[in-house]
Amino acid sequence: MILELSKFNNTPVTRRTLLHAAGLAAVSAGKGYAWTSPIIDTHIHLFDTTRPQGVPWPDSKNTVLYRPALPDRYRKIAAPLGISGAIVVEASPWLDDNQWVLDVAAKDPMIVGVIGNLEPGERDFGRHLERLQRNPLFRGIRYGNLWGRNLGAGLDKPAFISSLKLLSQAHLTLDTANPTPALLSDVIRLTSMVPELRVVIDHLPARRNYHAHLREIGSRPQIFAKLSAVFRRIDGRVPRELSVYRQTLDELFGVFGEDRILYGSDWPNSDQLRPYEDVLALVQEYFRDKSATTAQKYFWRNSVRAYGWVKRAPSQPG
């Protein structure tokens, strides 16, 4: 394997990233996929804690997260590890922050998409959606167990369903937040009511007690799953060993198959458990024994189908 670090000339290469790259070279020498294709990270958050208006998240008491998380910081961390693009997922219920994130994303071609935050069922939903979707970076909205919202309650309201039909007609995507068994049940209901809507379930490996719904979800081709937020704190520590997480990953891979799984880091939220390179290395190790085609689907090809993003830089696939 040739480590093409030269293409990251404008990005500082640390000892940690060099060790990570060397580890990938060792992996590629054995059985499995050689990590030479691009990677699209489908789940990062951007915010600026120095803004005059502040941010709704993270809390100022969070010493790990409470500092600006902007594209230049992400690029310095992710680019040396082979990440060529990322999709930003909302971290604010404030309407104006949809445009703020789009404006920030427009300045860095590493950002290939934005998942915003609108309230389906509100009177002005259609007007706001029409305005935001004029920007090709806008790829959908997130709605679920976040900001006091309840997908199940919304499904009983005709205006809510009408809003999600508008989202589907615009060929945009609905991300869900923090899945629980109830939310997964609601996703099944939703995809029966709006069958053309693409739905992405965020952070499924971090959740438990979802088994009763997986078989039905797995039968619905419009539902994708992010194999993200894999690390867990167990007895006061966060294990790095794949053996701890393999059973969960195997189960989800078996349900969704190679065509409906996505890579997402959850940066910088992931820093509360492990640094970015550990997050990436864990799933790279998992896909080491799968085919190159399967790994490419997980690391970028499926994200095109899920979000319809368009490349902005020569290093990006598509």
Residue 198 near residue 174, CB atoms below 8 Å: yes
pLDDT at 208: 61
Rounded Cα gap, residues 238 and 244, in angstroms: 10
Q: Supply angle C-alpha 203, 204, 209, rounded to 5.
A: 135
Kindly state the tokens that stand for 76: 């310095």
Rounded Cα gap, residues 1 and 22, in angstroms: 10
pLDDT at 5: 30
Would you place residue 213 in the very low, low, confident or very high pLDDT band (cuts 50, 70, 90)? confident
Would you place residue 229 in the very low, low, confident or very high pLDDT band (cuts 50, 70, 90)? confident
At 87 the three-state DSSP class reads strand
Average pLDDT over residues 200-206: 80
Average pLDDT over residues 103-131: 98
Q: How does pLDDT run across 231-255, given as a tens digit for each residue? A: 999 999 999 999 999 999 999 999 9
Rounded Cα gap, residues 239 and 49, in angstroms: 30
pLDDT at 180: 86
Mean pLDDT of the chain: 89
Please say if the pLDDT value at position 268 is more than 80.
Answer: yes
Q: How does pLDDT run across 145-183, given as a tens digit for each residue? A: 899 899 999 999 999 999 999 999 999 999 998 888 899
What whole-number percentage of the chain has pLDDT above 90? 80
Q: How does pLDDT run across 41-92, given as a tens digit for each residue? A: 999 999 999 999 999 999 999 999 999 999 999 999 999 999 999 999 999 9
What is the pTM (predicted TM-score) of this model? 0.89
Please say if the pLDDT value at position 7 is more than 60.
Answer: no
pLDDT at 33: 45
Strand 111-116 with 83-89, pairing = parallel
Greater confidence (22 vs 275) lies with 275
Average pLDDT over residues 116-137: 98
What whole-number percentage of the chain has pLDDT above 70? 87
pLDDT at 277: 98
Rounded Cα gap, residues 45 and 108, in angstroms: 14
Kindly state the tokens that stand for 297: 């689907």
pLDDT at 35: 64
Rounded Cα gap, residues 38 and 114, in angstroms: 19
Q: Domains along the chain?
A: 14-307 (3.20.20.140)
pLDDT at 207: 60
Greater confidence (3 vs 159) lies with 159
Rounded Cα gap, residues 25 and 82, in angstroms: 13
For 190-225, b where at least 16 C-beta lie within 10 A, e where not — what string?
A: bbeebeebbbbbbbbbbbeebeebbebbbeeebbbb
| 41 contact partners, CB below 8 Å, separation of at least 6 | 78, 83, 85, 86, 87, 263, 264, 265, 267
**Within 10 Å of residue 130's Cβ, how many Cβ atoms?**
11
